[in-house]
Structures are given as structure tokens and as C-alpha cells.
């Protein structure tokens, strides 16, 4: 997606948007926007008045004047429709690009699955595949459907989805097992289990989302629509009450003047741009390579207070690697290395694989009779192997300590010292026991990502508290937290600890964001107000979150927060600007209505407009043209800077509040000078 053109007004998109502007004149469509619907009714009334003027009756003004008012109002509605249509057209263009990616891909479906790649396959179209099917992909094959790798590893080109040309490695086991339909296998081979139904794939969801088919108004957008409808109702009452005042003052007011006043006073600017702002917010998120399941998630991101993020792969580079073996006294180094390697044979995690790499033992060296492998779980926090009368366990310091002490064995002091030393240096100690006796400790090391401190500093300026979540012991966690510059940390974290922390913060009235990629992150992602799952993560994580990051960049939340804040600010500032405009329009139109018959009102004519007709025309022309002028701002969003909420508010009130009052005075006066040449 990154390689797509960022031009706001491409010729083909503009042509499509112009066509849709007329299609959207349908009252059934217009009714969804109460402000612009009433402007459309006013436009129809002015057409009738214009036709009535042709009969020779001059009580409502000349035909040319009435028709000109009708044309201006008609363009006001068209401009509002165009704003929404251009935002939708940009989304549809993205959808078309994605459609090209989603082809009818042939798939090698496994008939009867068994271990290895020597299995019988049958060719099927991707559309014929169903949930739970297993397919085979080799170098050069396009992945037909979304799924999870159950066997093998491969280099995959995801540029069709992410826009990123650099290939990525996906493998069975761990949290990088997910693959997306439409991507391509570059090397090796994999066996994949389909995790989605036809028509519900990741690409299908993306297409529906960017086309606007699944776009629902956010709670904030609905609330603002109701508020604008309330304003509009108020101004209907204001406009209607002018009639008896005019009759009392023996001042005839034309229908054109009433409708013009009403259209100018109601918040047409924000009414016309509201949908475009919402669609553009979703569009900006997609251009940042983030798929959002709803506009509400983007809005909420703009208001988050706390961010929870995993240490491994987020704050640190990828996975921890085994760097050194520290045997206990009386244990031979080579014996300890072999025990450590044996405990990691069934460990599919990168840490487990790095232990075997560091041991430099061959697979034949690790053969034992009748092995029973013990898988790692978040609860036990240990893994290992049982064979004959030998029980080897590898796990966290506190877990192995409890295990050995329960068996009546003493935890060696030299291993205790090694554990403390490793932890203080920012490493992770993994203690190995054989038959419930401690044999030593394996040192794992993390490397903190470059520039991460600056990114956390930026989040702090935004008012977001960062919390690092890790399964490490408190000493290691503290070292990494201080080095990375996070505000707080949760050490020795179990899946429920993340949940409890999120719930605690939410009970205090805070909005919490969580980033994760594993199945164990799914409950926390679902609980968080904003759950961002990595695209490379498991299917469970992607289903639980309300956003998916295609780049698998855990610091992406900074951009997500900025997009959210930008969406809220754009809507707020343009609403302020729209309402501020009414002040100038009031001073333009009200004196124009009464000045001929009540000369004392001349003092209100501070703009000194040429005539009542030119004043009304100037006001409604300005009211119309300000919509297309603001379309680029609605699509791009108001610039956000992390300078604090109060400073931002002052800045935006000065620019859009005060600017919204001043701009129409100059604009209307300038238009009046031009009109006075003709009227």
C-alpha cells in the first residue's frame, strides 16, 4: 500500500466523484445527512420560486436573481456530495488494487495429511477451498487462502499486501505462523491449514472496508450528526420567527432571502465534510498499513492513556538468543550443554533453537531411548524431556527453584549468583535441572531496538503511558525498562496478568491499547479498548484485536495514535470553523433583509455591502465555495504535533475559531465587490 500515489485529486478519481455527486442527490441517500438534506429541500423550493418568477410576478424578486440563488444552493449540495464521493473514490481505488491481488489461485490441497511433504495432493481453485483444508505451497507458488503454517518454514513476499518489498520468514510454531492469501512463497515449502471461509479472507475484509461497504458511523460521528441536526432545527425556528418581525416592520422578505439566511446559518460546512473526514480517517490508517475493523477503533486510539506492549520483538530485536552456559559446581560443562540441548529438542521457540545452535551438537548426539517431550506452557513455565529414569527440565529461575526445593534439594549458591548477575546485565536466565537437581543456568540476551527511546519519548509527549509486559524476572525487566525508557513494567507476566492490568486501568477510567501477536495475547487484545494484532501473528490474535498491523511493527501504535488524534482534531476544528462562520454571515444577511425599510440597522452593515441582493448572493457563494476549499484539509487531516492537549486546543481555536470568524468577512466582502459589478 505504501507505494500507492498520495495525490489527493487524481483525474479518474475526480471524474468518478463528480458522477457520484449527482447520484447522491437521491433524497433516500441525502436523508442520512440531515443538514444537507434540508439544503437540498431549499434548493428545490428555489427552483419552484425561479419558475414562478417567469410568470411575471416580481414579488419574490427577478428570475435571474432567484435562479442564481438556486444554482448556488445546487452547487452547495453538489460540493458536499463531492467531498464524500472523492473520499469514497480513493477507498475504491485501493480496493481495485487489492482485487488484482486476489486472483483465482490454484491450490495443492492435501488429500490425507501426514508428517512431511511427501503427501498426496489434488488441485483446487482457491474459491473451492473450505475452512480446515490443508494445502501445500512451494517456491514460486501464490498462497491461495489465509491460514496458519502447520509444518515447515518459508521466505514469503508480502509486498502485494504491505507494500514492503523485503521478504519475511514465516514458520510453524511460535507467533509468526500466519500467512495471507495473495502473498507469494519465494523459497522452501510449507504446509498450511486454512483458517477462513471463502469470501471472509483478510483481503475480502480489506476490500469491503476500503470500499466503505462495511463503514459504520462512529459513536462520535453519530453524536455530532445529532448535534448538527439540533443546530439546524434551532435555526429553522430562528428563520421562521423573522417573518412576524418583518410583517410588523412592514418589511417584505423574499423566499430567496429566508432560504439563503437559513442555509448560511446552519452548519453546512461541517455537514458537508463530516462523512469525508470519517472515510479519510480510515483511509489514512490503511495508508499507514493498518487494517481497522471499525472507525470507532481509530477514534479511540486518539484518546488512549495507556499502552501495553510485549518486550520480545517490540522493545527488543526479535528473539532472545542463548549466549553462554553456566554449569553448577561439580557438573561437567559438556554434560550440562547436552542436558540443556536435550531439554530444547521439542522447544519450537527461537530461544529453544538458539540453545541447540550454541551447543553445536548434531541431531544424532541428541537421540535418546523412548523420549517423552514436555511442552512449555505459560502456567508451568517449564519445558523438557523424560527418558528412562532421567527427567530434564528447563525454565524460569523461580519455577525450577520451587521444583528442586520441593524434592528436598538445595538451590546452589553459585547458580543463584549467576542468575542475579545475568539478570542485572539485562539477560534472561534459564535454569536447567536433572532429576530435580540444579545443573546450571543458560544465559539469554536481548538487544534493544535502536531509536526506541525516542519513540517512547514521543508517546510520553502525547500523554500516553507505556507499560512493558514480559515473562522475565523483575531484575531483567527493570534493566530493560530503564534502558528502553518505558514508564512501567509487568515482570513474570502470565496471560491473566495482562488482562488484570488492563481491567484495573479501565476501572480508573483510562483507555488502554494493547499490542500482541500470540494466541496467549488474544484475551488481552479483546479486553483492551484498542487491540493491535501483528499480521504475522496467530489467527486467534488477529481475530481478537480490532486492528491489524500489516508491517508487523510494534511501534506502529505511535502512528495509529496520531491518526486517531488527527481524526478527532479535524472533526473538531472544522466544526469550530463552520459555526464561527455564522457570525460573519449574520452580519452580511440580517442587515440586508431590513436595511431598506429600517435605515437605523445600517450600523450593523459593518462590511458595507453593495445591496441586499449582492449581500445575500455573496454570503451563499462563500458558504458554497468554502466546502471544496476545505476538502483537502478534510482528506489530509489537521496537522498533529505532540505539544500537549492545552497547547493544541489554544492553537486550533486561534487558527480555526478566530480564523473562522475573520475569513468570511474578507471572503464575503471580496465576492460582493465582484458581484457589485453586475448587480
The reply, when asked if residue 521 is annotated as ligand binding, is yes
> Is 310 an annotated catalytic residue?
yes
Residues 312 and 76: beta-carbon distance below 8 Å: no
On whether 102 is known to bind a ligand per the annotation, the reply is no
Cell of 540: 486467534
196 labeled binding residue: no
For residue 107, list its beta bridge partners.
124
652 in Cβ contact with 569 (< 8 Å): yes
User: Is 488 marked within a binding site?
Assistant: no
How far is it, in rounded angstroms, from Cα 474 to Cα 235?
62
Strand 488-490 to 121-125 pairing: unpaired
Closest to 519 (Cα-Cα) out of 529, 506, 530, 534 = 534
Residue 268: C-alpha distances to residues 124, 222, 340, 575 (Å): 54, 16, 71, 10
Nearest to 443, CA basis, from 453, 435, 458, 431: 431
* 379 known ligand binder: yes
The contacts of residue 12 (CB under 8 Å, 6+ apart) are 93
382 is in an annotated binding site: yes
Q: Indicate which residue of 310, 529, 553, 672 is catalytic.
A: 310
Query: What are the residues whose beta carbons fall under 8 Å from the beta carbon of 367, sequence distance 6 or more?
Result: none
347 is in an annotated binding site: yes
Instruction: Please check if 316 is assigned to a binding site.
Output: no
d(CA 290, CA 150): 26
Q: Dihedral, CA atoms, 82, 84, 89, 90, nearest 10 degrees? A: 120
Q: Which residues pair with 192 in a beta bridge?
A: 135, 149
What dihedral angle (degrees, nearest 10) is formed by the CA atoms of 303, 305, 308, 311? 110
378 known member of a binding site: yes
Q: Is 201 marked within a binding site?
A: no
Q: Annotation-wise, does 90 bind a ligand? A: no
Annotated binding residues, as ranges? Answer: 347, 351, 376-383, 394, 517, 521
What residues are annotated to the active site? Answer: 310
Annotated binding residues for ATP, as ranges? Answer: 347, 351, 376-383, 394
Annotated binding residues for Mg(2+), as ranges? Answer: 517, 521
Amino acid at each position: 500500500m505504501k507505494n500507492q500515489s498520495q495525490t489527493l485529486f487524481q483525474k479518474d478519481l475526480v471524474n468518478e466523484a463528480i458522477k457520484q455527486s449527482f447520484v447522491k442527490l437521491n433524497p433516500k441517500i441525502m436523508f442520512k445527512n440531515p443538514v444537507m438534506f434540508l439544503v437540498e429541500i431549499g434548493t428545490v423550493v428555489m427552483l419552484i420560486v425561479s419558475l414562478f418568477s417567469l410568470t411575471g410576478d416580481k414579488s419574490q424578486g427577478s428570475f435571474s436573481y432567484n435562479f442564481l440563488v438556486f444554482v448556488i444552493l445546487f452547487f452547495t449540495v453538489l460540493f458536499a456530495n463531492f467531498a464524500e464521493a472523492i473520499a469514497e473514490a480513493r477507498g475504491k481505488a485501493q480496493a481495485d488494487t487489492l482485487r488484482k491481488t486476489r486472483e483465482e489461485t490454484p491450490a495443492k490441497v492435501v488429500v490425507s495429511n501426514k508428517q512431511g511433504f511427501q503427501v498426496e495432493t489434488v488441485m483446487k481453485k482457491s474459491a473451492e477451498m473450505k475452512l480446515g483444508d490443508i494445502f501445500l505451497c512451494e517456491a514460486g507458488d501464490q498462497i491461495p487462502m489465509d491460514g496458519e503454517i502447520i509444518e515447515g518454514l518459508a521466505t514469503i513476499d508480502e509486498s502485494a499486501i504491505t507494500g514492503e518489498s523485503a521478504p519475511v520468514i514465516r514458520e510453524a510454531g511460535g507467533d509468526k505462523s500466519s500467512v495471507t492469501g495473495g502473498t507469494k512463497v519465494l523459497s522452501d515449502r510449507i504446509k498450511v491449514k486454512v483458517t477462513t471461509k471463502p469470501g471472509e479472507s483478510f483481503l475480502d475484509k480489506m476490500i469491503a472496508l476500503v470500499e466503505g461497504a462495511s463503514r459504520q458511523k462512529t459513536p462520535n460521528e453519530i453524536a455530532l450528526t445529532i448535534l448538527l441536526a439540533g443546530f439546524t432545527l434551532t435555526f429553522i425556528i430562528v428563520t421562521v420567527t423573522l417573518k412576524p418581525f418583518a410583517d410588523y416592520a412592514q418589511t417584505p422578505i423574499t423566499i430567496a432571502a429566508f432560504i439563503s439566511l437559513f442555509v448560511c446559518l446552519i452548519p453546512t460546512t461541517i455537514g458537508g465534510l463530516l462523512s469525508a473526514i470519517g472515510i479519510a480517517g480510515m483511509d489514512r490508517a490503511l495508508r499507514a498499513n493498518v487494517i481497522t475493523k471499525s472507525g470507532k477503533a481509530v477514534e479511540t486510539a486518539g484518546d488512549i492513556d495507556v499502552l501495553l506492549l510485549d518486550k520480545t520483538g517490540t522493545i527488543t530485536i526479535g528473539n532472545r538468543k542463548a549466549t553462554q552456559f553456566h554449569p553448577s559446581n561439580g557438573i561437567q560443562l559438556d554434560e550440562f550443554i547436552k542436558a540443556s540441548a536435550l531439554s530444547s529438542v521439542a522447544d519450537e521457540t527461537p530461544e529453544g533453537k538458539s540453545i541447540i545452535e550454541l551447543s553445536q551438537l548434531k541431531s544424532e548426539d541428541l537421540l535418546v531411548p523412548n523420549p517423552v517431550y514436555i511442552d512449555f506452557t505459560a502456567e508451568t513455565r517449564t519445558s523438557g524431556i523424560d527418558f528412562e529414569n532421567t527427567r530434564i527440565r528447563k525454565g524460569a529461575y523461580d519455577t525450577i527453584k520451587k521444583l528442586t526445593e520441593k524434592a528436598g534439594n538445595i538451590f546452589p549458591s553459585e547458580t543463584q549468583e549467576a542468575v542475579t548477575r545475568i539478570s542485572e546485565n539485562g539477560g534472561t536466565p534459564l535454569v536447567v535441572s536433572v532429576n530435580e537437581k540444579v545443573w546450571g543456568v543458560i544465559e539469554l540476551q536481548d538487544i534493544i531496538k535502536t531509536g526506541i527511546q525516542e519513540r517512547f519519548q514521543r508517546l510520553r509527549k502525547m500523554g500516553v503511558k507505556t507499560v512493558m509486559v514480559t515473562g522475565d524476572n523483575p531484575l531483567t525487566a527493570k534493566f530493560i525498562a530503564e534502558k528502553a525508557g518505558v514508564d512501567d513494567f509487568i515482570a513474570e507476566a502470565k496471560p491473566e496478568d495482562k488482562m488484570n492490568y488492563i481491567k484495573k486501568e479501565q476501572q480508573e477510567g483510562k483507555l488502554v491499547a494493547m499490542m500482541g501477536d500470540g494466541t496467549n495475547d488474544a484475551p488481552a487484545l479483546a479486553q483492551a479498548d484498542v487491540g493491535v494484532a501483528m499480521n504475522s501473528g496467530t489467527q486467534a490474535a488477529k481475530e481478537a484485536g480490532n486492528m491489524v498491523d500489516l508491517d508487523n511493527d510494534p511501534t506502529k501504535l505511535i502512528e495509529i495514535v496520531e491518526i486517531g488524534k488527527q481524526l478527532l482534531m479535524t472533526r473538531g476544528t472544522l466544526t469550530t470553523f463552520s459555526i464561527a462562520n455564522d457570525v460573519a454571515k449574520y452580519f452580511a444577511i440580517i442587515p440586508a433583509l431590513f436595511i431598506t425599510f429600517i435605515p437605523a440597522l445600517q450600523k450593523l452593515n459593518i462590511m458595507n455591502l453593495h445591496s441586499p441582493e449582492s449581500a445575500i448572493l455573496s454570503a451563499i457563494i462563500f458558504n458554497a465555495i468554502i466546502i471544496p476549499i476545505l476538502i483537502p484539509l478534510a482528506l489530509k487531516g489537521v496537522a498533529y504535533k505532540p505539544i500537549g492537549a492545552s497547547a493544541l486546543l489554544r492553537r486550533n481555536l486561534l487558527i480555526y475559531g478566530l480564523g473562522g470568524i475573520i475569513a468570511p468577512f474578507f471572503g464575503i466582502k471580496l465576492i460582493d465587490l465582484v458581484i457589485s459589478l453586475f448587480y
